[in-house]
């Protein structure tokens, strides 16, 4: 995959993440699936790592499948603690093991369809619901 293909993919991830409301979290895998790229959770992590420090994408709202803030290895430089702090400021609570209850704080996107998932117009009701149709 070329760098431009990766960046294009990352923009799709960012659009999904921008929809996660304050006080809610999504998992890396959930973001990938909603972006139409299931099984690409690691790519979501790469996309978030590439964000500039002044980005408006709410990166802190993405956690791992266990509801934990994922450490970023040796290059973490305190970001895990900062991510937890930002989430706590939004009202997200952690248990004693450092996990978020995904049932309580997980984002359910079904309530807010993505712009590319909305139809141009809602389906029209059948004006003659009792009339037999051809072929039925």
Domain assignment present for residue 24? The answer is yes
Rounded CA separation 95/127 (Å)? 54
The model carries a pTM of 0.75
Which domain does 90 fall in, by range?
A: 3-109
Task: Tell me the per-residue pLDDT of 78-128, one tens digit each, with 9 for 90 and over.
Answer: 677 899 999 999 999 999 999 999 999 999 986 444 544 545 555 555 555
Task: Tell me the per-residue pLDDT of 46-90, one tens digit each, with 9 for 90 and over.
Answer: 999 999 989 999 999 999 999 999 876 555 556 778 999 999 999
CATH number of the domain bearing residue 29? 1.10.10.10
Domain assignment present for residue 94? The answer is yes
By the 10 Å C-beta count (0-12 exposed, 13-18 middle, 19+ buried), 89 is classed as exposed
Domain assignment present for residue 92? The answer is yes
Domain assignment present for residue 120? The answer is no
Q: Do the beta carbons of residue 60 and residue 83 sit within 8 Å?
A: yes
Number of domains comprising the chain: 1
């Amino acid at each position: 995959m070329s760098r431009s293909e990766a960046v294009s993919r990352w923009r799709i991830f960012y659009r999904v993440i921008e929809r996660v409301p304050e006080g809610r979290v999504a998992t890396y895998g959930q973001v990938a699936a909603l972006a139409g790229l299931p099984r690409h959770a690691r790519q979501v992590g790469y996309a978030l790592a590439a964000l500039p420090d002044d980005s408006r994408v709410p990166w802190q709202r993405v956690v791992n499948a266990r509801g934990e803030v994922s450490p970023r290895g040796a290059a973490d430089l305190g970001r895990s603690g900062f991510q937890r702090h930002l989430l706590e400021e939004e009202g997200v609570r952690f248990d004693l093991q450092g996990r978020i209850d995904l049932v309580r704080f997980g984002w359910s996107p079904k309530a807010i369809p993505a712009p590319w998932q909305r139809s141009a117009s809602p389906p029209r009701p059948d004006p003659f619901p009792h009339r037999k149709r051809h072929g039925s």
